[in-house]
Amino acid sequence: MNIDAALQDIRSRLAQAKSVTVLTGAGISADSGVPTFRGAEGLWKDFRPEELASPDAFERDPTLVWEWYNWRRELLATKSPNPGHHALVELEQRCERFWLITQNVDGLHAEAGSRKLSEIHGNIWKVRCTGCGVVKDNRDVPIEILPKCLTCHGLLRPHIVWFGESLDPEDLHNSYEALRSCEVLLIIGTSGMVYPAASFGPIAKDQGAFVAELNLDSTPNSDLVDVAVQGRAKDLVPQLLS
Ligand code: BV8
Ligand code: ZN
């Protein structure tokens, strides 16, 4: 099926749908200049993200992990939402029932105006106290290393879900609710490698949703979905609205 026919197919499904769910990954922020997780530029000082985004790494060397997050925060501070993010805000306003599940921690969906949103892997602009658990916004660039809680002087950590950590129960509840009730699921810009997000396509498919993937390359999801369109999210997502 050519791209125009595929996009027309998705547009007509969206026009009829009462409930739409969207799952995004790093690919939708790539067009804002944010390095993807597994792309070549995902490296930092020859470390793989999986090596640094873990409680063990933070336990072992909190300074190194905070240096990595400072590098990403400094990079993200200069980035803005792109037409792909803005198109999803428009889609949220058009749909009777809508939910956006993002794996991204960059905050760009919220900055674009998405409200019905679960940031299932957390948010790089929030910090959590390892002592008293308080979660706060923190936009300091750079953040002082090692940051301490003003209340209990405990060590602050990024409010991000690391590998081996469980996702927030409320985020999971909202996500499964949205996946089980949607008539259309759009999967945009994710390599479909990380769980539980990688299982979200099959959950929607199993309950009869129409599932479409918009991604630069093919992924493990590509064989599962009803329609897979290859291209850049900033080009493809706005075309779902026209
Ligand atoms: C959990 C925060 C329960 C860090 C992240 C074996 C089987 C099943 C599960 C596991 C397993 N082994 C381990 C696990 C569990 C593990 C996991 O899934 N590991 C993987 C590696 C196998 N999962 C977990 O630990 C999760 N927790 O399961 O809890 C539990 C509890 C205890 C013990 C076990 C289990 C927690 C996962 C969360 C990890 N945290 N991020 C940080 O960001 O600092 S995940 C990280 O990957 C990012 O959040 C990122 O968003 C996410 C997914 O990556 P993508 O978004 O897909 O990005 P990627 O670069 O991979 O792909 C980008 C895509 O975009 C590409 O396809 C590319 O082609 C495309 N693209 C590029 N440019 C564009 C584009 N598309 C469109 N337009 C463009 N312009
Ligand atoms: Zn504290």
Confidence of residue 106 (pLDDT cuts 50, 70, 90): very high
| pLDDT tens digits along 185-230 | 999 999 999 999 999 999 999 999 999 999 999 999 999 999 999 9
Mean pLDDT over residues 230-238, rounded? 98
For residue 229, give its domain range. 3-33+81-121+167-239
Are residues 156 and 48 both part of a single domain?
A: yes
Smallest CA-to-CA distance from 116 within 20, 186, 188, 40 is with 20
Distance between CA atoms of residues 122 and 118, nearest Å: 9
**Residue 216 DSSP SS3:** coil
Are residues 131 and 217 both part of a single domain?
A: no
The answer, yes or no, to whether any atom of ligand 1 lies below 6 A from the CB of 82, is: no
* 44/145: higher pLDDT: 145
Are residues 188 and 214 both part of a single domain?
A: yes
Q: Which atom of ligand 1 is nearest to the CA of 36?
A: 60
C-alpha 138 – ligand 2 centre gap (Å): 14
- As for how many domains the chain has, the answer is 2
Confidence of residue 43 (pLDDT cuts 50, 70, 90): low
DSSP H helices in 43-82: 49-52, 55-60, 62-76
Smallest CA-to-CA distance from 210 within 198, 228, 194, 233 is with 228
Amino acid identity for residue 25 in this structure: G
pLDDT at 1 over 90: no
User: Do the beta carbons of residue 127 and residue 147 sit within 8 Å?
Assistant: yes
Confidence of residue 37 (pLDDT cuts 50, 70, 90): confident
User: Do the beta carbons of residue 189 and residue 24 sit within 8 Å?
Assistant: yes
pLDDT at 39 over 80: no
Are residues 136 and 56 both part of a single domain?
A: yes
Alpha-carbon separation of residue 6 from 11, 13, 59, 79, 167 (angstroms) = 9, 11, 47, 30, 33
Last residue of some domain: 132, 160, 188? 160
The answer, yes or no, to whether any atom of ligand 1 lies below 6 A from the CB of 31, is: yes
Q: Which helix (H) or strand (E) holds 230?
A: strand 227-230
Q: Work out the mean pLDDT of the chain and round it to a whole number.
A: 95
Q: Which residues contact 17 (CB under 8 A, 6 or more apart)?
A: 95, 182, 183, 184, 210
Instruction: List the catalytic residue out of 85, 86, 109, 121.
Output: 121
Tell me the whole-structure pTM to 2 decimals: 0.96
Is 121 annotated as catalytic?
Answer: yes
Are residues 130 and 234 both part of a single domain?
A: no
Are residues 135 and 25 both part of a single domain?
A: no
Q: What is the CA radius of gyration of the chain?
A: 18
Amino acid identity for residue 27 in this structure: G
Are residues 39 and 114 both part of a single domain?
A: no
Are residues 110 and 145 both part of a single domain?
A: no
pLDDT at 139 over 80: yes
What's residue 41's pLDDT?
65
Confidence of residue 42 (pLDDT cuts 50, 70, 90): low
